[in-house]
Amino acid sequence: MGLIVKTSARAIIPLIGIFGAYIVMHGHLTPGGGFQGGATIAGAGILFLVAFGLDEMRKHYNKNLYSALEGIGGLAFLGAAMLGMGVAFFYNTLWHNGPFFNGKPGTLLSAGFLPIMNLAVGLKVFTGLVSALTAIALYRRWKS
Amino acid sequence: MGFMVAFLFAYVLWLVLTAGTKGMLWNGQELIAGLIFAAIVGYATKDVIGERASRFLNPAKWILGIAYAPVLFWGMVKANLDVAYRVITGKIRPGIVRVPVELENDAQYTILANSITLTPGTLTIDACPDEKALYVHWINIPPGLERPENSEPVSGPFEKWARRLGE
C-alpha cells in the first residue's frame, strides 16, 4: 500500500493489539471475551499483512511458532477445565477454593478460571486467524 | 528503542481504557496486568512501529500537537461551511491537482495528507515522496491555480504545521 497507509498502520497496530488484549482480559467484566479480543488482535495482524505486503509478512511470520501457540491455547483451555476434576469436569475450583482468581467480583482477578480460558481462547483465535489469512495470501498463484 | 515507544503507547491506551477501577484511578491489578500486556504488545510490534518513532516521546511535540488541534478544527469548520455552500449552489470546478511540498519523512506526509483530507473540499489521493508531491482532488479549483507552486492555496498553513509536527 501507499506511504500514508503504511505510516498510519505503524501507529495503529500497537493500539489495536493492546485494545484486543484489554477485551480478552476483561472478558468476565465487560462485553467481549476470548473470541472477540482474539479476532481484534488478528485484525492487527491482517492490517500488517495488507499494509506492508506479503514479502514483509513472510519475514515476520513464523509458521511453527504460530502453530505451537495455537496448540498451547487449546491446551491451556483444557487444562483450566480439568482443574476441578475432583468434583466434575469444568468445575470452577479456582473460584470456590482456589489460591488466586477468587477476588471480589468486579475486580480483574475474580471469576475463577474464566480469565485463563479467555486468554487461551484469545491466543488460539489470534494465531489461528492470522495463520489462516497468511496461508490464503500465500496460496501459490491465480492459475492452477 | 522501538520496544519502548510501542510499550508506552500501549500502556497509555491501557490506562485510558481501564481508568475508573479504583475511584477515578486504577487499582494495582489493572496496573500490573497493563504492564504485562503492554510489554507483550511492545515486544511483538517493536519492528513495526519504526526506529524513529521515539521522537514522538518528546513533550515539546505533544504541546505542538495540542496547539495544532484548534487550527485543524477551525480549518474543518470553515471548509465544512464552504462545502455546504457548494452543495446548495452547485458551483463546483472539480479536478486533481499536483501539489509540490517540502517535506522529508513519512510522518510529515501522513499528517499533511490526513489534514488535507479532513478539511472537506480537498481529498488526498496519493503521496509521492520521491517526487515530493501530493495529488489532491479539489472540489473547486480557482481559475489559474490548476498547477499550484506550493501547498498554500490547497491546505493553508497545514504544511508548516506538518513539517514541525513530524520532524
> Which value does ipTM take for this structure?
0.84
Provide the whole-model pTM: 0.85
Largest CA-CA distance found in chain A, in angstroms, rounded: 60
Which residue in the set B6, B50, B127 is minimally distant from A2, CB to CB?
Answer: B127
Contact in structure between B41 and B6 (CB atoms under 8 Å): yes
Q: State the Cα–Cα distance between residues A23 and A118, nearest whole angstrom.
A: 9
Say yes or no to pLDDT of A72 above 70.
yes
- Sequence-distant (6+) residues with CB within 8 A of A78 are none
The DSSP secondary-structure symbol of B140 reads B
Say yes or no to pLDDT of A8 above 80.
yes
pLDDT 10s digits, B26-82:
787 888 888 898 899 888 888 888 777 778 888 888 898 898 889 888 888 888 888
Which residue in the set A4, A13, A22 is minimally distant from B110, CB to CB?
Answer: A4
Interface of A with B in 18-47 (CB under 8 A): 18-19, 21-22, 25-26
What is chain A written as a DSSP string? --HHHHHHHHHHHHHHHHHHHHHHHTTTTSS--HHHHHHHHHHHHHHHHHHH-HHHHHHH--HHHHHHHHHHHHHHHHHHHHTTTTT-TT--HHHHH-SSS-SSBTBTT-STTHHHHHHHHHHHHHHHHHHHHHHHHHS--S--
Cell numbers representing residue B42 in the block: 511492545
A42 confidence band (pLDDT: 50, 70, 90)? very high
Substitution target in A1, A5, A7 with the highest count of B β-carbons within 10 Å is: A7
